[in-house]
Structure formats: C-alpha cells, structure tokens
A and B are shown apart, each in its own frame.
Chain A
Amino acid sequence: MLVLSREPEQGIMIGEAVEVRVLEIQGGKVRLGIIAPQEVSVHRKEVFLNIQKENQAAAAAQAAGLAGAVQLLGGGPGSGKGVEPGEKARAAPPQEAADPRGGETEREAGRGVGRSGAKGVEMRKKAIVRKE
C-alpha cells in the first residue's frame, strides 16, 4: 500500500483523472472530496462490500423458499395476485448492528464526497411498478 501524508487542502491524483482532496480534519474524522469522471464509481467501501456479499448470498436462492413465498402471498402457478399493496416490511435489525455503514465517522466523511457536481442533480422518485 502506498502511504502518503497530506494536509487539509492538499490532495492526491490517481491517474490523470481522479483527484482525492482532503477538505477537513476534525475530531478523528477526515472529510474527503473526490473528483472523478462519471464512468468511475465512487462508493463508501463498507456499503460496496455489503452489497457484494449480499449479491453472492442472493446467487444461492433456494427453490423451497421461493415456492413458500408464493404460497404466503396467496399465489400459485400463473398467479401474480395476493400481495397486499402497501405492506411495509421492516429492516432486519441485526443487520443494522452488523452494518458498519452506520458509523458516524464514515457518514460524516461522506458528505464531502462529490463527483463532478453529480450530487447537485439528485432526484428522488418512487420506485415504479413494472408494466410488463
């Protein structure tokens, strides 16, 4: 691992297009600003790793569980019915505890993350219902 010491306002370049800038150091937290081309994804590491792990778990879907879910929803072969619309499921609580993403340090640090101004055009929309 390459180790560099940087002061606030200083940064590093990764290749020619990616810049990581130290914005602020305060109380054990470092705020970083990242400038990267839009094709480069920038994510908090632990969230990325969690999704990676979950995708791997999802690849091992069990037929019995899925058949059971169809039953629970009151459906059967050829039926898409039985779902109670608006049913609100809860997050699995232990995951919250096991999930380091909730760490204040990281979240605070993340506020400095910007991608060529991408954050300025965020949109928030409800997930839409498939029409097919």
Chain B
Amino acid sequence: MGVKFATTRFGELELPPERIISFPRGLIGFPHVLRFALIDHPGGGPFQWLQAVDFPELAFVVADPSLFFSGYSVAVSREELRSIGIERIDEGVVVVILVVPGDPRKITANLIGPIVINLRDRLARQLVLDAPEYTTRHYIFPQEEPAMAGAAQEEERSC
C-alpha cells in the first residue's frame, strides 16, 4: 500500500513508503515540514524535486552538486551524521537546493546549506556548513558579466 498525497505540481502521487524521506528537523525555515519525496524532474535533466508530502504546494528543486561544482566538499561533524543514522558522509547522498528564477542562467545553488540523505533509512537533514568559501547563492552556469548578472538576479528574485 503506497503513500498517497496531493501535489500542486505533479498532481496526486502514490509512492511506496520507502520513497518517503523523513527530515526530523524539517528544512531550515520550514521546521514543520517533516516528510518529503525525492522525485525526478519530469522534464529531464539532472534535476530532482523534493516534494513535501503534507504540503501540496511546497517543493524544492535539488541537484547533485558535483555535476556543477567540481571541487565542492561537505565537512560535517560526526554528530550531525549520526543524527540521520550514518557514520560517514559517503554513506549518504548530498544534494543542494536550487533557486530557479525565470531565467535559467540565473539559477543558483545553496552550497552552504546542503542536504544529506541517508537513503537506506530514509532520513535526511539540511546542514549549515562552517565553510567561508561557500554562500547560499552560487550560479550553476558560468556568468559572462558577473557584476551585471548579480544585479539582474536580484530583480528576478523580487518578482
């Protein structure tokens, strides 16, 4: 018997219980959202959606950061890993949340707040890295005019 839930983007979904991932602390800023499903983007590409099971309209685009940021690394304490039932970071899957405005070239990835998922036990957590080299907003595509691009991004985000 699958878990049935409504979504605004994908309609009614029914997934096997093992596809439901628990975030015991929620996401940062969404502490009350405790269950998500990881769904491949129907339009293809290396993107996935973290769809909230209990909030139909709430979904985040995520991606494997290594596809866009070759040197990206996640330093995390053992306690944080243990809180989702793993001992080493490579026992889990790391994804980063994307902000997707209308202009695809302005898509950014949050590298300082990655999500680590223990797929075996279906437990996940958003981390806050202690890494000054990362911010919440890294373009996933190379920018031709960085200064201008940043200004444009602000406009995008305000609408």
Contacts and interface: CB of A to CB of B under 8 A. Distances in A.
A129 B66 CA distance: 7
Interface in A114-128: 115-116, 118-119, 121-128
B59 interface: yes
B41 A92 contact: no
Contacts of B102: 62, 64-65
Is the interface on chain B under 10, 10 to 19, 20 to 34, or 35 or more residues? 35 or more
Interface string A45-58: 00110111111111
Contact of B61 (A66, A93, A121): A66
A95 B137 contact: yes
B56 to A, nearest CB: 12
30 contacts: A47-B112, A51-B126, A54-B97, A55-B29, A55-B30, A57-B157, A58-B60, A58-B98, A59-B60, A61-B99, A65-B100, A65-B101, A65-B106, A75-B45, A79-B45, A80-B44, A82-B45, A87-B68, A89-B68, A91-B135, A92-B143, A92-B153, A94-B151, A107-B132, A115-B79, A121-B78, A123-B78, A126-B66, A128-B89, A132-B93
Interface of A: 38-39, 41, 43, 47-48, 50-59, 61-62, 64-73, 75-80, 82-83, 85-96, 99, 101-102, 107, 110, 115-116, 118-119, 121-130, 132
